[in-house]
Chains A and B, each alone.
Chain A
Amino acid sequence: MRNLYSILFATLCIFILFRYNCKSQCCSVGIPSGGTTNLGILSEKTIRANVFYRFSKSDDYYTGDIKIPNGLVKNGEFKFLGYNVGLGLSNKFLLEFEGGYFFSKSQEYEIDIIKAYGFTNHLVSLKYNIINKFDNSIELTFGVGFKFPFTSEPFAYRNVVVPYDLQPTTGAIGFAVHLFSSYDLNDDAKLFLIHRSEINNHNNANYTYGEVYLTSIFLSQLIIENLSGLIQLRNEIKTKDKLNDKLMPNSGSILLFICPQLNYNLDSFNITLIFDYPIYKYYNGKQLANNYSAAINLSYILPLN
């Protein structure tokens, strides 16, 4: 229990440290969140595959936490297929590969629609299990990852380079830190705390996408046999982007989402339906804000032995 309090305290410290220098843009450059709790340690020689499809819509403009009229973009959307494959190297070490493909990212203007598509950044992570005891009633896993793009060239639609927030990839390398913890409240209920920080390097255009700090608290409760309900509270903090080392005033945000989920479990197979709704939005400058997103996640665990 003391460990759980330590994790909560560490997460709060991270929030406080980065609270005052944040911002983001509408269309989620980088790897959208899968929203799953299937990210913990695996036993040796076990493979876990998560595949998810996410749809997101944005059509409001915000300045600070205030909705404002007359946005330049009438509608912004993305459709994304993400994947995460984990391999248990031992009962303590997990190797994970994560990435995805934007089927479409679009912004509708009064006279035109600008589109983009392609692979997002990919991430290779090594996770180490620090605590896994009391018959697996508590878990604490820490990880570090290396982010890399499949291309460093900016995406151009009809020979026109699309805006930064519409690019499918940052076009730059980066690093990630993971923290995963879970705690069994009782036989039917479980609490998860998942944190991820991402830091990006500059790309070929000398544009640096802001740092991203994602922290989620999940509470899972068994409803009937094999069917669980989950409620996720997720905080997303993005710091300001930089162009030629100059901060971009209209980038960076603090968002708080509530995400109800339904999970159906059948042996090694899980299917999860997720709906993300922002309950608090704060955008630096003036930005297109996320309205909602929804995802379906499929997860499969396969022992190699």
Chain B
Amino acid sequence: MKKLIFLIAILILTIACEKSIKPDDDTTIKLPPGILEFSLFAREYEIKIGNLTEITAVITPPTISLEYQWKATEGAIMGSGQTVYYSNCCASKPKIICTIIDKSGNRASKSIEITVVE
């Protein structure tokens, strides 16, 4: 029984010690090889609560095959791929972050800010 408690305590301590804060993904300047330009565009930068705005990752040259990862500091991103839709229930100024990853695993991130108003 004591061994069981000891093992659980070690497991808990191991998990606890792994925790650390990493900063949010943010803009990285170095682009994956072959990509000349990477930027984000929103159809509307200010939206009303509950409305949608379309956000597109624009890549030059556009023919390169990439994986697109998205996240928002608040609210919901709908859809997936190069173009997504963003909305939020509440007034806020969220940051939308897109990370592109090429076949070799090289990655770059860009972010834009959307204003959600009443």
Contact = CB atoms under 8 A, between A and B. Distances in A.
A250 interface: yes
A9 interface: no
A59 to B, nearest CB: 13
Contacts of B36: none
A301 to B, nearest CB: 18
Contacts of B87: 72, 109
Nearest to A109: B78
Contact of B77 (A152, A160, A205, A248): A160
B70 A285 contact: no
The binding surface of chain A is classed by DSSP as loop
Given A249-B90, A287-B89, A159 B68 contact: yes
Contacts of B106: none
A279 interface: no
A112 B85 contact: yes
A172 B8 CA distance: 18
A89 B18 CA distance: 29
Contacts, number: 92
Interface residues of B, number: 37
Contacts of B69: 156, 159-161
Given A112-B85, A250-B89, A148 B76 contact: no
Given A72-B89, A160-B77, A249-B90, A204 B72 contact: no
Contacts of A104: none
A123 B5 CA distance: 14
B49 to A, nearest CB: 8
Interface in A113-155: 114, 124, 146, 148, 152, 154
A160 B86 CA distance: 11
A70 B12 contact: no
B89 A61 contact: yes
Contacts of A303: none
What range describes how many residues of A lie at the interface? 35 or more
A174 B42 CA distance: 38
Nearest to B90: A250
Contacts of A288: 89
Interface in B51-77: 52, 67-77
Interface string A69-105: 0111100000000000000010000010000000000
A82 to B, nearest CB: 19
Contacts of B22: 204-205
B3 interface: no
22 contacts: A61-B89, A71-B89, A72-B88, A89-B5, A107-B76, A112-B79, A114-B76, A156-B69, A156-B71, A159-B68, A160-B69, A160-B70, A160-B77, A160-B79, A163-B72, A163-B76, A201-B19, A204-B22, A206-B21, A206-B24, A250-B90, A286-B49
Interface of B: 1, 4-5, 8, 12, 15-16, 18-24, 49-50, 52, 67-80, 84-85, 87-90
Interface of A: 61, 70-73, 89, 95, 107, 109-112, 114, 124, 146, 148, 152, 154, 156, 158-163, 172-173, 201-202, 204-206, 243, 248-250, 285-288
Given A61-B89, A152-B18, 7 more contacts: A111-B85, A112-B85, A114-B78, A158-B80, A159-B80, A160-B80, A163-B75
